[in-house]
Amino acid sequence: MSFIMPPFWATGSGRAAAPHAVAVRVTPAVTIVSSSIAAASVLETLTPHWLVSGDTVLVAGHTGSTPAVDGSRVVTVIDATHVSIPLNVTVAGAGGTLTRTIAVEPLTLAQGKLRAGLDWADGDARDALMLGFIAAARAKVERDTGLSLLPQTFDVAFDALPADRTPITLPWRPVLALASITSIDSAGVVQTLATTNYHLDPGSEAPIAARVGLSLAGAWPTDLRSFQPYVLRLVAGWSSIAEVPAPLVEAMGILIAHAATTGRDRFTDALSRDEYAEKIASYELVTVA
């Protein structure tokens, strides 16, 4: 797991705009209901899987199927709770979990080479370098905008929540779902807050942050441990590669071309910086003091 500090919790004066919080990227295991009999078996999940076509997942604990479904599989998304895998299943199975292990990037290896104006045969040692540039470019765009380009799950831990009904600003956009709000009481017991206690304002990709606030009849728990008693689990990102705005993909391309031609990911060319800044400008978060 990687630890990520929320990139935009500050007002124009630089003061903190929310209680101390840390966002942690997590990869939860999703429960499988069943696998189907099909040339490309369909896995049904109990809850939304938040995967993207091309993601690699690890299937574990699935029983009854012929052949066995367990193992590393590349998925094609059908809908929020169904994905297909390239496996001809003749006897259906049930149970187990799937967990994303390799997330697909907004640009493929071939597209990264094209953006950089380079080409070489597949399998070249430079493939790994280019894939690294693509991942680094996506991560920089995400850091600079506070956006998650493709679905990622975050646990956001708070030391405290506002005593009044002030909405809580969430890191990362666009928010696809607020999966849960949990609290840890003074005895160390985890409690899940009923969804009737709060409302989600999902915001947008730009420039408004998502927020969560108490419902009219809602209340935050009061019996809490002293350190990070609240955890909000949110899913952020566009639900498919096709939905990622073109300017953000173009911004990635500028970074990739720069890295590939200079051999480094330090962004030093003034013209390239200006072009990059122009691409992401309308997607940067607007904060209000």
Question: Residue ranges per domain, the chain?
Answer: 30-102, 109-147+242-283, 151-237
Packing angle, helices 246-262 and 126-145, rounded to 10: 130
- How many other C-beta atoms can be found within 10 angstroms of the C-beta atom of residue 134? 26
- How many other C-beta atoms can be found within 10 angstroms of the C-beta atom of residue 246? 8
Residue 28: closest CA among 40, 10, 46: 46
**Residue 43, Cβ density class (10 Å: 0-12 exposed, 13-18 middle, ≥19 buried):** buried
Task: For residues 84 and 76, give the distance between their C-alpha atoms in angstroms, rounded to a whole number.
Answer: 5
Task: For residues 8 and 5, give the distance between their C-alpha atoms in angstroms, rounded to a whole number.
Answer: 9
pLDDT digits (tens, 9 = 90+) for 102-144: 999 999 999 999 999 999 998 999 999 999 999 999 999 999 9
Does the structure show a pLDDT above 80 at 18?
no
- Would you state the structure tokens that stand for residue 236, as one six-digit string? 């952020």
The mean of the pLDDT values for the chain is 88
Amino acid 287: pLDDT? 58
CA torsion angle for 234, 237, 239, 245 (degrees, to 10)? 160
Amino acid 208: pLDDT? 77
- Phi-psi map region of 181: left, alpha, beta (phi>0 left; psi -120 to 50 alpha): beta
Residue 55: closest CA among 101, 98, 89: 101
CB 65 within 8 A of CB 89: yes
Q: Please indicate whether residue 268 or residue 152 has the higher confidence score (pLDDT).
A: 152
Average pLDDT over residues 15-34: 79
- How many other C-beta atoms can be found within 10 angstroms of the C-beta atom of residue 30? 21
Strand segments, DSSP code E, in the chain are 3-4, 21-26, 30-35, 42-45, 56-60, 71-74, 76-79, 82-84, 97-102, 152-158, 168-169, 175-184, 190-192, 198-201, 211-214, 230-236
How wide is the angle at C-alpha 170 spanned by C-alphas 169 and 171, nearest 5°? 125
Average pLDDT over residues 201-222: 82
Task: For residues 27 and 106, give the distance between their C-alpha atoms in angstroms, rounded to a whole number.
Answer: 19
CA distances for 71 relative to 40, 61, 237, 277, 289, angstroms = 15, 10, 26, 42, 50
Average pLDDT over residues 200-217: 81
Q: Superfamily for 30-102?
A: Ubiquitin-activating enzyme E1, FCCH domain (2.40.30.180)
Q: Please indicate whether residue 228 or residue 62 has the higher confidence score (pLDDT).
A: 62
Does the structure show a pLDDT above 60 at 77?
yes
Kindly report the backbone phi and psi dihedral angles of residue 170, in degrees, each rounded to the nearest multiple of 5, phi listed first: -100, 140
Place of tokens 């800044």: 277
Task: For residues 91 and 67, give the distance between their C-alpha atoms in angstroms, rounded to a whole number.
Answer: 7
